[in-house]
Structure 1
Amino acid sequence: MKVTGVRQWIAEFGYYNAIYVQVETDDGVVGQAEVAMRRRTRTVAALIEELGEYLVGEDPTRIEAHFERMYRDSFLGGTLLTIGIAALDMALWDLNARSLGVPVHRLLGGKFRDAVPVYTHARATESPETFAAEVKDRVDKGFTAVKTTLPGFYSQVTSVHHKVPASIPARTTETELLPTSIWQRVGEYFQAAREAVGPDVHLMLDCHGRLNVANAVRLCEELAPYQLTFIEEPTPPERPDWLAEVTRRSTTPIASGERWAGPYGSAPFLEQHALSIVQPDVAFCGGITAAKRIATVAETHGISVAFHNPFGPLTSAATWHLAATLPNFMISESMLTPAQLKFWDRYAENPPKVENGMWQVTDDPGLGPRLRIDEIVRHPFRPEYDRGGTR
């Protein structure tokens, strides 16, 4: 079996553009995948085209060899490179499993668990009361875990702009002066949410690297009474020593890792015990191959995995197939909001289904979903989604 071609399509996905990839072979088996990089869609698409040229004529069963070749032959690394690699890597896993008539998790070592727990999102709204109502709505829909972005820094955000202006502008750096009341204000949000849903719902906060060490510690101290499951990316992702200091001084677990480029990007964080929970993104770090390596090393450090995964049906399927096999898996992100789910059904047949906050692991061949290419073509790339405007 040889690869005969790599095709890709870009489709708008509500607030970003998704890139869909298909690896084709001479015996008719195809593998499909999905990636996205807000504000850099065309850059990633060009990279996938170049990497695909290497793959044509190759044996698609040699997944590890192809990962190493694509990663090392590029000379310069970084997340943009590993997103391109991830698209082809996930498609190769899908292709190989389909050629054997088995699910991807079977090729990864088989199921460690029969169901994968996932969490969803609630907006950091204009007030603690409306935020609490949003969290309760998610719980009423069956979820037992909910995450939000940093109140005051985010309210209602798209990839293009803040629909509702935040108290703190998007381009405020971690070293600038912040309002003295902001920490108490954030605490009020989580106090309201905790009172609305009780002590057993998992609440999580994503800071998007917006704080310096001192302010991150102040935030952790303010939120300690509300027993968050984790605080994500409190400091910028480039400095493991900063994150290690916050982890050392926080009673709330600290999570990070969504921006890691390949296994080597995770190494300094794991070596310094800079976090309690790793969050690799299968579609960012280099695909299933890279994410599995990161998870395995994390296990040797006693660190849990909570996958970053705010994307669509194929990326979610790839993430959850891997999650099903990992002893140290904890929970996975999902973007299962009503606004997003319509795109899952539009662009994929047999998208993953989540009930009561769990994805029941299936034995469907490959990753499970199949692309609706006709629908993808009908909803092409939207340039305004790539213009930025939020951090």
Structure 2
Amino acid sequence: MRVTAVRKWVAEFGYYNAIYVRIETDEGVVGESEVAMRRRTRTVSALIDELGEYLVGKDPTRIEQHFERMYRDSFLGGTLLTIGISALDIALWDLNARALGVPVHRLLGGKFRDSVPVYTHARATETPELFAKEVADRLQRGFTAIKTTLPGFYTKVSSVHHETPAAIPARQTETELLPNWIWRLIAEYFDAARETAGPDVHLMLDCHGRLNVANSVRLAETVEPYRLTFIEEPTPPERPDWLVEVARRSSTPIAAGERWANHYGAAPFLEQPAVAIAQPDVMFCGGITAAKRIATLAETHGVSIAFHNPFGPMASAATWQLAATLPNFLISESMITPQQMAYWDRYTENPPRVSEGEWKVTDEPGLGPRLRVEEIVKHPFKPEYDQGGTR
């Protein structure tokens, strides 16, 4: 079996654009995938074209070899490179599983669990009272784990596009002065959330690297009474030693890893250790191959995996197929909202479904979903209104 073509389509997906990929072979077996990189869609799209040229004519069963070639032969690394690799790596796993008529999790060692727990998002909104209503809505949908972004830094927000101005300016860096009232405000939000959710619902806080070490410690002290499951990326992602200091002084577990570029990018954070919870993104880090390596490395350091995954159906399917096989898996992010699900149903057949905060592991061949290319081409690339302003 040989690869005959790598095809790609870019489709508007609300506040970002998704890139869908199909690898075709001379035996008629295909593999499909999805990636996205908000603000850099066209860059990643061009990279996939170049990497796809390498794959044409190759044996698609040599997944490990292709991962190494695509990474090492590119000379320069980084997440922008590994996103392109992810698109082809995930599609190769899908292709190989479909060729054998088995689910991807079978090729990865088989099921460790029969269901994959996932959490959802609740917007920080303009007031603690409105945030509590957001939390109540997620509970009514069956979720028992909910994450939000930093109150005051993010209010009514889609991704990082502010529909109403945040109290802390979007381009304020981690080294600039914060008002004293911000800590009181954050406490008020989580006090309202905990009162609504009760003691057993998992609450999590994503900071997007907006704080320095000193303010991250103050944040940890502020939210300690509310027993959060984790604080995500309190400091910028470039310095693992900053996270080490925060983790040492926080009783709340520290999580990070969505911006790691494969296992080499993860290693400095896991070896120090800088995190109690690792958050690789299967779509960012180099695909299923890289994410599995990161998970194994994390396991040797006693670190749990909570996958970053705020994207669409194929990305979610790849993430959860791998999650089903991992002994150190904790929970996965999801973006299961009515607005997002409309895109899932438009662009794929048989998208994964979440019920009562879990994805039930299936035995369908490959990743499970299939692309609806006839619909994807009707919704081409749309310039993104998010042109930056926060990490």
CA spacing shift, 1:123–1:160, aligned 2, 3 Å: closer
- Asked whether 1:336 is paired with 2:336, we answer yes
| Post-superposition offset of 1:367 | 0.0
- Asked whether 1:240 is paired with 2:243, we answer no
Provide the C-alpha distance between the structure 2 equivalents of 1:160 and 1:141, rounded to a whole number of angstroms: 24
| Post-superposition offset of 1:159 | 5.0
Provide the C-alpha distance between the structure 1 equivalents of 2:122 and 2:155, rounded to a whole number of angstroms: 10
Query: CA RMSD, aligned part only?
Result: 0.8
Provide the C-alpha distance between the structure 2 equivalents of 1:82 and 1:386, rounded to a whole number of angstroms: 22
Deviations 1:196-231 (A, max 9, x none): 010010000000000000000000001000000000
Aligned to 2:347: 347
Secondary structure, in 3 states, of the residue corresponding to 2:139?
helix
| Post-superposition offset of 1:160 | 6.9
Aligned to 2:219: 219
TM-score by length of 1: 0.99
Aligned to 1:132: 132
Provide the C-alpha distance between the structure 2 equivalents of 1:300 and 1:344, rounded to a whole number of angstroms: 36
| Post-superposition offset of 1:347 | 0.5
The 5 A counterparts of 1:33-52 are 33-52=33-52
CA spacing shift, 1:296–1:213, aligned 2, 3 Å: same
- Asked whether 1:201 is paired with 2:201, we answer yes
The AA in structure 2 aligned to 1:143 is F
Aligned to 2:366: 366
Tell me if structure 2 keeps the 8 A contact 1:232–1:255. Answer: yes
The 5 A counterparts of 1:131-210 are 131-159=131-159, 161-210=161-210
The 5 A counterparts of 1:69-148 are 69-148=69-148
The AA in structure 2 aligned to 1:55 is L
Secondary structure, in 3 states, of the residue corresponding to 1:380?
coil
Identity value in percent: 79
Provide the C-alpha distance between the structure 1 equivalents of 2:182 and 2:386, rounded to a whole number of angstroms: 30
Tell me if structure 1 keeps the 8 A contact 2:161–2:386. Answer: no
Tell me if structure 1 keeps the 8 A contact 2:118–2:357. Answer: yes
| Post-superposition offset of 1:131 | 0.3
Gaps of 5+ in 2: none
Tell me if structure 1 keeps the 8 A contact 2:123–2:148. Answer: yes
Tell me if structure 2 keeps the 8 A contact 1:9–1:377. Answer: yes
Tell me if structure 2 keeps the 8 A contact 1:86–1:284. Answer: yes
Provide the C-alpha distance between the structure 2 equivalents of 1:55 and 1:289, rounded to a whole number of angstroms: 16
Provide the C-alpha distance between the structure 2 equivalents of 1:325 and 1:116, rounded to a whole number of angstroms: 10
Aligned to 1:3: 3
Provide the C-alpha distance between the structure 2 equivalents of 1:162 and 1:290, rounded to a whole number of angstroms: 33
Aligned to 2:327: 327
CA spacing shift, 1:385–1:62, aligned 2, 3 Å: farther
The AA in structure 2 aligned to 1:256 is A
The AA in structure 2 aligned to 1:268 is P
Aligned to 1:228: 228
Aligned to 1:263: 263
Deviations 1:3-26 (A, max 9, x none): 000000000111000000000000
Gaps of 5+ in 1: none
Tell me if structure 2 keeps the 8 A contact 1:161–1:390. Answer: no
| Post-superposition offset of 1:387 | 2.8
Provide the C-alpha distance between the structure 1 equivalents of 2:386 and 2:39, rounded to a whole number of angstroms: 4
Provide the C-alpha distance between the structure 2 equivalents of 1:119 and 1:249, rounded to a whole number of angstroms: 26
Provide the C-alpha distance between the structure 2 equivalents of 1:383 and 1:203, rounded to a whole number of angstroms: 34
Aligned to 2:277: 277
Provide the C-alpha distance between the structure 2 equivalents of 1:228 and 1:159, rounded to a whole number of angstroms: 22
